[in-house]
Structure 1
Amino acid sequence: MLCVHSIETFGAHDGPGIRCVVFLQGCKLKCLYCHNPDTIAMEGGRPYTTDELFEIIIKSKPYFGKNGGVTISGGEPLLQAKALIPLFKKLKTEGIHTTLDTNGRILNHFAMELMDKYTDLVMLDIKHMTEEGYEYITGQKNNKTTFAFSDYREKSGKPMWLRYVLIPGLTDKPELLKSLGEKFKTYKAIQKLEIQPYHKLGVHKWEALGWDYQLKDARENSEEELRKAQNILKPYFNAVTIN
């Protein structure tokens, strides 16, 4: 049984091609810019069996084409890694491409089995390059867990994308971008890095939950800032795109 927040049957920004995106309920982080804060609580969501989710996904298969497939996001999908294994196993029997969108904090044997055997692509969110910055953004300590996760995926030789939210004054400093590039420049598994422009689309959800949105004064990126960040990162990766 999987606890699902919502399902998007025609997603175009969560992995290659057209995808069915399943947002799971629950996350241990509380990122300042989270645009789905209603997925953070472990409570809530709707329970789905493997077969129920499979039937929903299979109806979208005609739209996947050569590049599309299924992306499991959240929340944090690897909190439910054990329950995802039978779903991904069933999807692979139908030749459906599988992607995990994760913050990389969980690397237990269920997560390893899910990634090693049944996950075609991992999209890993890099929150910040320093421990202090990571704690400020996520509310949790130990940025090293993300890097341990990326190291594990790299050793597997299986494809990985990095995603990085560019927040003016917080994550866009040239020294941070260069640190990001230096950390990952030798990785063979990384196919590309996606720059995620900062936006405030989820602010109303924070207000609805009665939570204080702490980045009220942060502004959205200018085109010039996005291109500047892209140019700094380009020498380090096979591809750098702005999502």
Structure 2
Amino acid sequence: MELIWSGLVEAFKMIVQLDNEVLQITLLTLQVCLISTFISTLIGLPAGMVLAFKNFAGKQLILLIVHAGMGLPPVVAGLWVTMFLWRSGPLGDLQWLFTPQAIVAAQVVVSLPIIISLTYSAFKKIDYALILQIKSLGPTTAQKVYMYIKEARFGIMAAIMAGLGRVLAEVGAAMMVGGNLRGETRILTTAMVMEVSRGNFHIALALSFILMAIALIITFILLHLQQRRFTP
């Protein structure tokens, strides 16, 4: 209990004193996690809708890959992203390795299958009779998409929260592609691992409390949007 209490005290001090390094780490964590979740949602939402409502060759194979990707080990994602971004890799000219962009890329790889799979499930749960009713109204494509999203909004927001939770907790891939460089690619999870390896458990606990606070605040906001955004 003393260790937990010291962690809480340390976290409070860091927040009140606006420790520059902790502030920078926290802001970078928010930046890469929100950007990667946004990109994954931007790709995953239409992909999940297409998989739910369209039939085409190779659909079952894609679904198999997407569902299997939900359990993709982050270090495997980090390895592949590292190889692609390596100097001699296909995307080496971008020079993204050991930058925040590389962390975003790795986080998109681990969160995208989750968002696609869960949005697919959300759209598949829409009652077929309701789908026929919507089609009978003769809506435009945009109106049809809006109504489908409205009906599946709870599942969609759950998918976004799951994707965000995955990237907030991500450490292996971020460490591999980002290098945990001070002032450049160090985020809360990689900083916690580093502090634990140094035996600074009180600092690691403080960082964990900050990370949990961020997760709770963002989840609260998303839950609020889930309840209100599409209310008639």
Instruction: Specify the TM-score bucket, using the shorter chain as the normaliser.
Output: under 0.3
Higher relative contact order (CA 8 A, sep 6+): 2
Structure number, greater radius of gyration: 2
TM-score normalised over the length of structure 2: 0.26
Structure holding more strand per residue: 1
Give the alignment's TM-score, normalised by structure 1: 0.25
